[in-house]
């Protein structure tokens, strides 16, 4: 399904990522953040280019990502957003927490596009190119969201928003149950284990998950700290051990 691994003329590895590489990248980013993607591979002991590392992290290793299993609601939202925004996949991804632009793009081309009325789609693109498509007329949720500094891929795994699974410490108490559920679900989906997710629902009622744990400066200086959930059994451990737990279990 993916390109076979190979080394280019500069000794940089390309193609599919191994589990060992994933572990190295995940461990490094969780511990030190990703302030400089160019230097990161060398520091993390990877033979990849920074761009490749960034892509792997953003599209696959980032916490709380969902893979596949699009709900009808998500598909409707993608169609709606695409009609309004065209191929602005990063903007569309902002409206679907846990989904990446690449994932949505693939899903669009492989599943949604063919099911849509062709003329509808063309009309949407035409509309985008017209002078009438002004900032003030765009749906409220998109106004001002085109700035690169707000793209979900830059800070989504750390940014606390109302629709995300990351919350600030002050806000977590109101939504703790749903947060725990959605975050735990993400963990389980990452491990391709629906069964585990179902059984872990029982753990939810037994307060298996603790309050969120704040990870400082994991995404560089400009991003807010990240919030993760840990089982009660590990919350008394040190910061480093908590990171180790996350590295092992994400």
Interactions with DNA, residue window 12-41 (CB under 7 A): 14-17, 35-38
Residues in the chain, total: 250
Site track for DNA across 150-189, x = CB under 7 A? -xxxx-----------------------------------
Q: How far is the CB of 27 from DNA (least distance, A)?
A: 17
Q: Determine which residue in the list 24, 25, 46, 56 makes contact with DNA, applying CB under 7 A.
A: 56
- Token pair, residue 165, equals 């699974």
Q: How far is the CB of 192 from DNA (least distance, A)?
A: 11
Residue (41 or 212) nearer to DNA, CB: 41
Residue (83 or 88) nearer to DNA, CB: 88
72 binds DNA, rule: CB under 7 A: no
User: What is the C-alpha separation between 216 and 177, in angstroms, rounded?
Assistant: 23
60 binds DNA, rule: CB under 7 A: yes
Residue (38 or 239) nearer to DNA, CB: 38
- Token pair, residue 114, equals 């063919």
Let me know: does 225 contact 218? Beta carbons within 8 Å. Answer: yes
User: What is the C-alpha separation between 237 and 243, in angstroms, rounded?
Assistant: 10
Q: Determine which residue in the list 64, 84, 90, 183 makes contact with DNA, applying CB under 7 A.
A: 90
Residue 247 class from Cβ within 10 Å (0-12 exposed, 13-18 middle, 19+ buried)? middle
Which stretches of 163-236 are DSSP H helices? 176-190, 194-205
- DSSP-derived pairing of the beta strands 209-215 and 226-231: antiparallel
Interactions with DNA, residue window 209-238 (CB under 7 A): none
Let me know: does 227 contact 214? Beta carbons within 8 Å. Answer: yes
Q: How far is the CB of 13 from DNA (least distance, A)?
A: 7
Residue keyed to tokens 């994991």: 218
Q: Determine which residue in the list 31, 32, 83, 88 makes contact with DNA, applying CB under 7 A.
A: 88
Closest CA to 164 of 147, 152, 150: 152
- Segment contacting DNA by CB under 7 A, of 60-68, 131-139, 160-168, 178-186: 60-68
> How crowded is residue 171: how many other Cβ atoms within 10 Å of its Cβ?
14
Closest CA to 90 of 41, 18, 29, 150: 150
Let me know: does 27 contact 247? Beta carbons within 8 Å. Answer: yes
45 binds DNA, rule: CB under 7 A: no
129 binds DNA, rule: CB under 7 A: no
87 binds DNA, rule: CB under 7 A: yes
Residue ranges that bind DNA, judged by CB under 7 A: 1-4, 8, 14-17, 35-38, 50-52, 54-56, 58-60, 67-68, 87-91, 101-103, 105-107, 109-111, 147-149, 151-154
């Amino acid at each position: 399904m993916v390109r076979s691994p190979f080394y280019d003329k500069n000794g940089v590895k390309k193609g599919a990522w191994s589990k060992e590489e994933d572990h190295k990248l995940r461990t490094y980013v969780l511990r030190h953040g990703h302030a400089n993607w160019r230097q990161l591979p060398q520091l993390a002991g990877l033979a990849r280019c920074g761009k490749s590392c960034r892509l792997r992290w953003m599209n696959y290793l980032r916490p709380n990502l969902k893979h596949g299993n699009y709900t009808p609601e998500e598909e409707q939202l993608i169609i709606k957003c695409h009609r309004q925004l065209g191929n602005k996949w990063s903007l569309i991804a902002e409206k679907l927490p846990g989904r990446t632009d690449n994932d949505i793009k693939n899903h669009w081309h492989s599943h949604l596009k063919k099911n849509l009325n062709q003329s509808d789609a063309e009309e949407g693109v035409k509309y985008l190119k017209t002078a009438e498509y002004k900032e003030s007329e765009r749906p409220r949720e998109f106004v001002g969201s085109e700035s690169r500094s707000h793209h979900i891929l830059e800070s989504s795994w750390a940014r606390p928003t109302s629709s995300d699974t990351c919350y600030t410490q002050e806000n977590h108490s109101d939504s703790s149950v749903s947060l725990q559920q959605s975050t735990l679900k993400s963990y389980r989906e990452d491990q391709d284990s629906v069964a585990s997710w179902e059984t872990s629902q029982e753990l939810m009622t037994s307060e298996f998950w603790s309050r969120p744990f704040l990870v400082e400066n994991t995404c560089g200086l400009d991003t807010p700290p990240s919030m993760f959930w840990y089982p009660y059994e590990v919350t008394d451990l040190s910061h480093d051990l908590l990171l180790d737990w996350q590295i092992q279990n994400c």
